[in-house]
Chain A
Amino acid sequence: NAGVTQTPKFQVLKTGQSMTLQCAQDMNHEYMSWYRQDPGMGLRLIHYSVGAGITDQGEVPNGYNVSRSTTEDFPLRLLSAAPSQTSVYFCASTSVAGAYEQYFGPGTRLTVT
């Protein structure tokens, strides 16, 4: 049981490049979320999903896309990277049965130059 996994752990992009951050969970959780963490700002919700085929925007969705074709996977796409997207990205999953306790992945540290 791996929990929530994220790849890659580190990534450096140039402005304008695109990439996908991968997230997978093996706990059969209905809900999955993406957050970004910036100093002094806590974690801010980017996008979330309440089940396969259903996604919605969080607090800071601009510049990011998501899709949820399976229960297990919830990739985050950066369409055209900008320096303002330099951050640490966390994926999380939770379940109704687990009283919404969120399980976090180890994070991806992204730098956009």
Chain B
Amino acid sequence: AQSVTQLDSQVPVFEEAPVELRCNYSSSVSVYLFWYVQYPNQGLQLLLKYLSGSTLVKGINGFEAEFNKSQTSFHLRKPSVHISDTAEYFCAVSAGNTGKLIFGQGTTLQVKP
């Protein structure tokens, strides 16, 4: 079975500062990894995904994530955040070809002026 742990429930940060949202996963099989963003009162939007190949994945809105197999982590980073990045971020894992996603608990990113 797969599981996902997002290590921070809330991350406050000042505008233009860098941010890292942490995600660890566990799985006995190879996985696909995803980060989704949810703006207030909206659905989920894909930020980026790791399927295979390069461990550094770039997504939309200047976000990137690094897959670390030995540490079973998939942390999300942005070098300089904006007020508009305030949202909830979800890390998720899909086990191979099942089509199912297992989500972490979510991290609320609060960007302050």
Q: Which of B69-77, B78-86, B93-101 has 4 or more CB atoms under 8 Å from chain A?
A: B93-101
Contacts across chains A and B counted by CB atoms under 8 Å: 61
Contact B105 A41 (CB under 8 A): yes
Contact B103 A100 (CB under 8 A): no
Query: Given that A90-B43, A105-B43 are contacting pairs, would A50 and B99 also be in contact in the complex, using a CB cutoff of 8 Å?
Result: yes
The main secondary structure of chain B at its interface with chain A is strand
Query: Given that A41-B105, A99-B51, A100-B32 are contacting pairs, would A107 and B99 also be in contact in the complex, using a CB cutoff of 8 Å?
Result: no
**Contact size range, A:** 20 to 34
Residues of A within 8 Å of B90, CB to CB, are 42-43
The tally of residues in B whose CB lies under 8 Å from a CB in A reads 25
Q: Which of B28-62 contact A (CB under 8 A)?
A: 32, 34, 36, 42-46, 49, 51
Q: How far is the CB of B66 from chain A (nearest CB, A)?
A: 19
Q: How far is the CB of A101 from chain B (nearest CB, A)?
A: 6
A40 — nearest CB in chain B belongs to which residue?
Answer: B105
User: Interface residues, chain A, CB within 8 Å of chain B?
Assistant: 30-31, 33, 35, 40-45, 48, 50, 58-59, 90, 92, 94, 96, 99-102, 104-107
User: Interface residues, chain B, CB within 8 Å of chain A?
Assistant: 4, 6, 9, 32, 34, 36, 42-46, 49, 51, 90, 92, 94, 97, 99-106
